[in-house]
Structure formats: structure tokens, C-alpha cells
């Protein structure tokens, strides 16, 4: 009876955990999602992440060509805003300044960016696009456009436009959630509640003692 009561309490606790988790999901500040929608969304994102990882180098070649994968995130801000310090580039790319500095050095050795003194501070330098960098961006845009046409061959323009807006909104949401532990759950399969423990089986009776070994004829004679 004690085991049965304990198991019932554990099952009730697990059920309560699941219900409270679903309510927390549905009581989002800006959006209300049913558990089914939330699971479908996270499963879809997880599948997308797995697909991108599976494509690996082939996808990188289709999207970036000879440009390093990090190059796009650094060259586009230079194209849009002009020459800027490495710290500003790091902020735009969402990486640490030390990481951006190493990546800029790679782009500089490849001739895609140029470095010149900052007229406002002689101790600092500005990073700017080179002619080769402009050409690399143009080539990469053609590759990305070709990839989009092939990947979305059965989409309409309206569907692609709507999805683009929703995808940007999703990326913004993931950025906002970046400091929360739940971020890993968004990009992977949704976390599962702890499984209910298996019922405890009563301890089995101790094994019966082995029958005594009969004496051999020689032992009887002794």
C-alpha cells in the first residue's frame, strides 16, 4: 500500500508539472500558443537546424561561394553604413570584438576589406570594403538568389514574401531570448517533462536454501 500511495503522488506531481508548463507557454506576454502549436513550431525549427547541418559544406558553397561564412555578416554592414571600427562591426554581427577582430584579419588578408586610420582618433582604425569585397558581395548575392529560386521552386511570390517576414520575426525573437535558458529548447526538440517512475515491484521472497548434499559412500564408511 505504501508503494502504491507513493507512486500515485509521483504521477500527480508529473501531471501537475506538465499542466503548469503548458499554461506558462500559453500565457506568453506577447503571444499565446497552444501546446500543439508550440511543439510543431519547435519541431520544425529543429528539423531546419538538422537539415542545415546535414547539408554542411555544400550549403555553404551554394550560399557563400568562396566567401567565408562569417564574411557576409561583416561585409554587408560595411556596404550599408560605410567604414567603421571593428567594435561596431562586432556589434552588428553579434559576436565578441576579439572574434570580429580575427575574422576581419582573415578578410583583410584575402583583400576583401581595407584598413585605414580613423580621422577622429589616430590610435584607432576603420575597416572599409575593398573593390574585391564589393565584387564578392555581388557574386554571393547571385548565388543566394539562385539557391532561393531552386529551394522555393513551388512557392508563390506572396508565400515567399510572407515567410521572409515571419522568418525575420522569428530571428528577432530568438535574439531576444538569447539570455534565457529556454533558448536551447527553441532550437531543438521541446524539453520533455520528467517521466513518471515505473511502479516499484515488491521484493521477491528469498530463495529457498539448497538441499543438503548427500554424502558419498566413502564418507559414510568413515
Tell me what the mean pLDDT of segment 81-96 comes to.
Answer: 93
Tell me what the mean pLDDT of segment 11-30 comes to.
Answer: 48
- How far apart are the C-alpha atoms of 177 and 27, rounded to whole Å? 16
Is residue 55 very low, low, confident or very high in pLDDT (cuts 50, 70, 90)?
A: confident
pLDDT at 182: 36
pLDDT at 29: 54
**196, 14 Cβ separation under 8 angstroms:** yes
CA atoms within a 13 Å half-sphere pointing along the CA-CB vector of 129: 20
**39, 190 Cβ separation under 8 angstroms:** yes
To the question of domain 56-177 being in CATH 1.10.10.10, the answer is yes
Does the pLDDT of residue 15 top 70, yes or no?
Answer: no
The domain segmentation of the chain, as residue ranges, is 1-55, 56-177
CA 57 to chain centre: 18
Tell me what the mean pLDDT of segment 60-85 comes to.
Answer: 88
Does the pLDDT of residue 125 top 90, yes or no?
Answer: yes
DSSP of 72-111: HHHHHHHHHH-SB-HHHHHHHHTS-HHHHHHHHHHHHHTT
Does the pLDDT of residue 61 top 80, yes or no?
Answer: no
Report pLDDT digits (tens) over 128-177.
Answer: 999 999 999 999 999 889 988 888 999 999 999 999 999 899 888 887 87
Tell me what the mean pLDDT of segment 113-134 comes to.
Answer: 93
Amino acid at each position: 500500500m505504501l508503494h502504491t500511495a507513493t507512486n500515485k503522488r509521483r504521477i500527480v506531481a508529473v501531471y501537475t508539472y506538465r499542466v503548469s508548463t503548458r499554461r506558462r507557454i500559453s500565457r506568453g506576454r506577447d503571444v499565446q500558443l497552444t501546446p500543439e502549436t508550440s511543439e510543431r513550431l519547435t519541431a520544425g525549427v529543429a528539423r531546419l537546424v538538422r537539415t542545415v547541418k546535414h547539408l554542411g559544406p555544400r550549403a555553404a558553397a551554394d550560399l557563400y561561394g568562396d566567401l567565408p561564412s562569417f564574411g557576409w555578416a561583416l561585409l554587408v554592414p560595411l556596404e550599408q553604413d560605410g567604414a567603421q571600427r571593428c567594435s561596431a562591426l562586432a556589434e552588428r554581427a553579434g559576436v565578441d570584438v576579439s572574434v570580429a577582430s580575427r575574422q576581419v584579419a582573415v578578410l583583410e588578408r584575402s583583400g576583401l576589406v581595407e584598413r585605414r586610420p580613423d580621422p577622429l582618433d589616430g590610435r584607432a582604425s576603420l575597416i572599409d570594403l575593398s573593390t574585391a569585397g564589393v565584387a564578392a558581395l555581388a557574386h554571393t548575392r547571385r548565388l543566394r538568389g539562385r539557391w532561393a529560386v531552386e529551394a522555393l521552386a513551388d512557392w508563390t511570390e506572396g508565400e515567399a514574401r510572407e515567410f521572409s517576414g515571419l522568418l525575420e520575426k522569428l530571428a528577432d525573437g530568438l535574439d531576444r531570448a538569447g539570455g534565457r535558458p529556454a533558448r536551447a529548447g527553441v532550437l531543438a526538440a521541446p524539453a520533455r517533462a520528467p517521466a513518471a517512475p515505473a511502479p516499484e515491484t515488491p521484493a521477491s521472497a528469498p530463495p529457498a536454501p539448497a538441499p543438503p548434499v548427500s554424502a558419498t559412500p566413502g564418507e559414510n564408511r568413515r
